[in-house]
Structure 1
Amino acid sequence: MDMSPLSRMKSPAASRTRPILLLLLSFALTADAIVIPPARWGHVSILCGTQLYIHGGQTGVNPMTAPIGSDLYSLDISAAFNAFSVPWVQLTPGPYASFHSASLLGPGNSLLAIYGGNTSFAPTSSTGSSNSLNLYNTATGTWTASPIQDPPRREHHTAASRLGDGTMFVYGGSLLSTDLMTESATPEMWTVGGYRDSNPSSNSSSSATSPAIPEPTGLTPDTVGWRKLPGPPGSTTDRSYHSATLIRSNGLLVVIGGVSGGALVPMSEILVFDTAAGTWSVQTATGATPPLRRSHVAAASISH
């Protein structure tokens, strides 16, 4: 049967819409495949090998009601990528936390250590529990809660790893009350992790061809676990909202800025903790001293 003139006029237009609809559908499917972490603040980030990890934080504007997240993402920085389609990968969620810390522990520094933080606006709060160290195994993609008793929960502290032996150093912060609603600044320094010699009888006279094998202590109640170290000297002992950077070449932990005694600490006053000797010193920086600040970050260059 012959098509009417009206039908013949509509057919070409209808046929032209098909590839356009298919193109739009294809674009929508591609866009949905891109993982975009929600905007956040109070989160942590850390580099483990070639993977950059971000965890937790708050995703709302009002600090009193903003939801606290447990999500974990990774980004492979070993190759260039398009800034308009960053290849984030969403991983298994961990503990709910904001204003916490992230560090590295374990053999090959393969354990992502999430410690402390505030969980008062989390869907499943850990109120009443002082244990707040959780480990993410970057090799297996699994989470484990620490079986050893942690120091009191805190936020606005810092944690840094001595990568040579997998030791984590936690300094300062604000101690949280049992109900997580009040806080008080602290000068405490804590450490956990490290390695032990699997051949204690070996000494410097042992054959160079048969060195002792470093073995991770692990995190079990039978290990040394957490240890409290001496706090810093001077008037600015308690510290929160600061930065702490461990220099790989000499094992010095450098603490800059933040709040002490309710006031901002001069940026010229540098606290230095020798992680090998276990001693503190105070250095005075000269030159163009930056303005007072808190909640900043600091990192050492690769040459250190």
Structure 2
Amino acid sequence: MIKVLHLLLKFKNERLASGSDTINEHKKIAEEKGRLIWGHSSSKSTKLMSDKSRALYKNQFSKGIDTYCFFLTSIKGEQELYVGKLSEIYFRGEITSASPLKKFIPSYYAGNVGTGFPADKNNTLVDVSNFFKVDSKYVSRIKVRSSAKDFTSDVGRSSLFYVDINEDLEKLLIELLSNPEAKFQYEVEQEDVPDDVTVKDKPKDKPLKRLGSSTGSYKRDSKTSKNAIVTAKYKCEVDTTHENFVSRVTGENYVEAHHLIPMEYQDDFDTSIDVEANIISLCVGCHKKLHHATYSVIEPLIEKLYDDRIDRLKDCDIKLTSHKLHNYYK
């Protein structure tokens, strides 16, 4: 059996003039468009990837083989790892200056794409979907094919690597990409939010709908959910004594984020319901109960959570009656 070849790009997370940085600008495109074209910069005029290697990847794409591109950087001495499902690879010049594909490239360098070297330093561009952060422990599960070294060791000065991944990482990616809710909760856990984060309840504009989605499919911001969990001190807000296990990511009681007003009802409101005031920190059992139990079982829980949150929701200009909330769960 032929082993699937994946790709890894090492990059520097640069601070931009706008105050943003490399990661956040790429995340923004991925979230808004549902797709991202990442330009891998190089001062070299020659290709970083051979035609033969690209042909191998294209063969995998044509056969529907799940192929991943990993993005590795270091922030304050700590490695950060991101991943996207890879669907195409372009060489410099293949995306022209007038190409509609440029809308999937961050604006801070999209203008240079297709203008020719040296203005266009984007040597190789990768087209990915489902871009998200992965626990850095998986860095050791990715090995350079030519040397079998992982990225916790010295792999040389190159920034583009042909890589293999181990079974644990492959299973994780298959699970997360097949289960959007599990993927979202995983992304929430990966968000780095300080314990002393301050949340101010105020109205926010409605979030964007997912590109090409049906009515009601609004995107959720994982950092907003993590803010809500941290301000709840990683406690279950139905019952603070509910403790399942300690998360190996946060070192705290494991909880999940739940939107009290489900996001599918965003169209019923004039402002965003993806706000901390509408996000409840729940243990796994209570979270599953709210999603799957009969109404008679969850009715008192909904009433409790409504009473706990109605004042905060009002501060966000979210007009909600108890009757309306209960109807969402019937």
- In the superposition, the TM-score normalised over structure 2's length comes to 0.28
Greater relative contact order, per chain length (Cα 8 Å cut-off, separation 6+): 2
Q: Which has the larger radius of gyration?
A: 1
- In the superposition, the TM-score normalised over structure 1's length comes to 0.30
Higher strand share: 1
Higher helix share: 2
